[in-house]
Amino acid sequence: MRIENRESGIGMVDVGGKQPTRRRAIARGGLRMGLDAFLLLRAGKLPKGDALKLAEVAGILAAKKTPENIPLCHPLALDSVQVRFELDAKLPGVYALCEVSATAKTGVEMEALSGVVGALLTVYDVVKQVDPALTITEVRLEVKEGGKSGTWIHPTASRPHLASGHPPPKGEASSLSPLPLGEGRVRGTAVVVTVSDRCFRGQAEDKSGPLLAEGLRDLGLDTGKVIIVPDEKDKISHVISAASSVADLIVLTGGTGLSPRDVTPEAVEAVCGRMIPGIGEALRSAGAAATPMSALSRSVAGQYGKTLVVALPGSPGGVKAGLAVLATLLPHAFHVIQGGGH
């Protein structure tokens, strides 16, 4: 005999007659934050510790406890729960992805969504101390497999081939996340150069150079004392040439504007055998979130042998936006420059 609540019509779906089949679901969601918080999150230096490591565990626990929080979900013996993260400087913020699988009579979509929400709320809790203006966004089911309805793919899923059962393209990871936890840090030596007449003469304090050096150290790079040079093309080019013998990365701050003394882009172009226009475009795009004046920046990047050279604006805000972009691009850029595959 089946007992129903006739007043409300609420009741669990009876799956007793179904046969267990392989079920899988992947969900995704984002957390938007300010650039300062993003850099601290990326470096694992938030006051409460490494938010992503904590959130990975929280997401797994949330997926397992789904039936306790959502009344009509069936308790399931889950085969696997995996939580991964994608740090995105353009957001800026982080995307969480949760993949759940089970051999069961019903799907695991809600478990995957619960895992994403649990992970994002944990990151929210750790980040809110330094940035309370946070937004959880775009929580959705990406793909689901198994059961009577078969495979379903969200129209804008970022890796639809994963839902089809086909292997990913050669060289691509089997996770939806292009930047899994732990792969964002880089190893190498960086040289920081501040380009400023006034700082060189001691008439102004260099605030951007030390900020840039600290940010690069947070990304895993070794940096020494900040070099300060005047706004003179030949001297800037000479420093780049000299530093390239010991550095994997040279980052300059200052001299990218429109004044007659702003010649850093010309100095970079004079010595680099190959320019990388996309980095300059990404830097201007990131700066646009803070000010429309970023469109006037002439930030550039190029290669001097196997050394990557990047010119950022001279303001602390421009440096912070630039660090967020470099945090995303440097791991792959270093890999390819050193001869690795795409």
Domain for residue 253, yes or no? Answer: yes
Write the CB contacts of 215 (distance below 8 Å, at least 6 apart in sequence).
39, 319, 320, 323
Please tell me which residue in 79, 125, 197, 218 is annotated as part of the active site.
125
Give me the mean pLDDT over the 119-135 stretch.
96
Strands (E), the chain: 21-32, 78-88, 93-104, 135-145, 152-153, 188-195, 221-223, 227-229, 249-253, 274-275, 300-304, 307-312
- Same domain? For 265 and 324 the reply is yes
Distance CA 328, CA 86 (A): 10
What type of residue is 118?
A: G
- For the domain that residue 157 is a member of, what is the CATH number? 3.30.70.640
Domain for residue 147, yes or no? Answer: yes
Per-residue model confidence (pLDDT) at position 7: 63
Give me the mean pLDDT over the 63-80 stretch.
91
Is 14 an active-site residue? no
Per-residue model confidence (pLDDT) at position 291: 81
Containing structural domain, residue 223: 188-337
Distance CA 53, CA 66 (A): 21
Domain for residue 11, yes or no? Answer: no
Distance CA 263, CA 298 (A): 10
Q: Is the pLDDT of residue 161 over 90?
A: no
What type of residue is 169?
A: P
pLDDT tens track for 197-252 = 999 999 999 999 999 999 999 888 999 899 999 999 999 999 999 999 889 999 99
Total of domains in the chain: 2
CA dihedral (27, 30, 31, 36) positive or negative: positive
Rounded percentage of the chain residues whose pLDDT exceeds 90: 56
Q: Is 116 helix (H, G, I), strand (E, B) or coil?
A: helix
Per-residue model confidence (pLDDT) at position 241: 93
- pTM as predicted: 0.58
Domain for residue 76, yes or no? Answer: yes
Distance CA 39, CA 46 (A): 9
Domain for residue 284, yes or no? Answer: yes
Domain for residue 14, yes or no? Answer: no
- Same domain? For 240 and 320 the reply is yes
pLDDT tens track for 174-183 = 333 333 333 3
Domain for residue 178, yes or no? Answer: no
Q: Residue 319 corresponds to which tokens in the numbers above?
A: 């440096």
Residue 82: which of 42, 116, 123, 124 has the closest Cα? 116
Q: Cα 334 from chain centroid?
A: 16
- Same domain? For 115 and 237 the reply is no
pLDDT tens track for 89-101 = 778 899 999 999 9
Domain for residue 241, yes or no? Answer: yes
- Same domain? For 332 and 193 the reply is yes
- Same domain? For 192 and 299 the reply is yes
- Same domain? For 139 and 245 the reply is no
- For the domain that residue 248 is a member of, what is the CATH number? 3.40.980.10
- Same domain? For 193 and 324 the reply is yes
- How high is the mean pLDDT of the chain? 85
Distance CA 289, CA 283 (A): 11
